[in-house]
Amino acid sequence: MSLKAKADAILSSATQSGDVPGVAAIATDRNNVLYEGAFGVRTLGEPAEMTLDTVVWIASMTKAITGTAAMQLVEQGKLELDGPASKVIPGLGEVKVLEGFDAEGQARMRPPKRPITLRHLLTHTAGFSYEFWNGDIQNYQATNTLPVIITCQDSALQTPLLFDPGDRWEYGINIDWAGKMVEAVSGKRLGTYLTDHVLGPLEMHDTAFRITSAMRERLAKIHFRGEDGSLAAADTEILQEPEFEMGGGGLYGTVGDYLKFVRMMLNEGRAGSEQILKPETVELMSHNAMGESLVTLLKTMAPPFTNDAEFFPGMPKSWGLSFMINNEVAPIGRSAGSLSWAGLANTYYWIDQKRGLGGVYATQIMPFADVKVLPLFLEFEKTVYQN
């Protein structure tokens, strides 16, 4: 049976059984699409079919695109990987480490032992976290009346560090700060910079922070899975007039658009006649950039939005300059040293530079690492490798 027939069967059966309302997936080698398919509907109870050009919230798949922008500016000498980030964003020099809370519930803070750098931000080793996976951050937000990150309010970034920069890995708001650094040195709003230097050159015309009217006509709604396994559509959406454009998770896009980014990374930074990144920059981004630290389980503190989440439990995983790296060959066939990550509403991608393979897969379901969606993605990817 062909890849097309096998993958179609896997994905279509998931929609027919009700496991997912709709799914779109696409796989590529360095030059050609190997598979593309879309099944089900964009929104439960509505007739519009899921298609390859359906617009979805790609959430934290935004991070690699923001990281690319930052690394373009490193190439130009406008940003430093290892200099104090406070030279660009003075407020990053004032962030304290949270040591705990006193009897009255007030935070006990101290200065960090070393300055935050862009490398720390791109590798999630600065000390920042997300409230989705950390109770101390939730407590700090509550006692200091801070909004959650997806409000895209500047004050949402005013959370403390949980440890000294460089000490370990903790997934968090780091790349939102990297986006602020891009804005500071480019003099442009992040979305404008991305359009001019990343999205535009890659012809990713359906990817943006702001949902255009043309994109909205193809937008899928996010669904929440209840404790009984049922799915219900919601009007959850990132603010369209945000105080800051969320470099860590604010973009909307399509699987076809994101595949152009994946293919650029497979081709040493080149897309057609455009050199988005230098080959040596792609090489630098694609290797462990945080020393002996390892990626750890994300333990949920917000069950409606995320389950406990870890890719390939038991396998050591490191982090490059905005990507997770599996240090060993994955059971699904993904080569050791491959790049990948995901978005909160269960969107996923992988970039296997050794084999010259990559793919993008999208649903719009929460919680993250959904019990139906994540296994379906892994089965899709495994099918690509087997065929």
State yes or no: is 171 an active-site residue: yes
> Alpha-carbon distance 261 to 64, whole Å?
9
User: Coil, strand, or helix at residue 309?
Assistant: strand
A 10 A CB-CB count for 72 gives 21
Q: Is 151 exposed, middle or buried (0-12, 13-18, 19+ CB in 10 A)?
A: middle
Which residue of the set 171, 193, 252, 361 is catalytic? Answer: 171
State yes or no: is 63 an active-site residue: yes
What percent helix, strand, coil does the chain show, rounded to 5?
30, 20, 50
> H-helix or E-strand containing 3?
helix 3-16
Which two tokens mark 237? 């959406």
DSSP assigned state of 188: S
Which residue of the set 63, 221, 260, 317 is catalytic? Answer: 63
Beta bridge partners of 219: 55
Which residue of the set 35, 60, 318, 349 is catalytic? Answer: 60
* Strand 56-57 relative to strand 365-366, pairing: unpaired
Unique residue bearing structure tokens 């069950």 = 303
Comparing CA positions, the residue from 171, 185, 101 lying closest to residue 131 is: 171
Within its chain, how far is the Cα of 274 from the centroid?
A: 24
> Alpha-carbon distance 357 to 381, whole Å?
10
Task: Please say whether the beta carbons of 351 and 333 come within 8 A.
Answer: no
Within its chain, how far is the Cα of 146 from the centroid?
A: 23
A 10 A CB-CB count for 46 gives 12
**Residues designated as active site:** 60, 63, 171
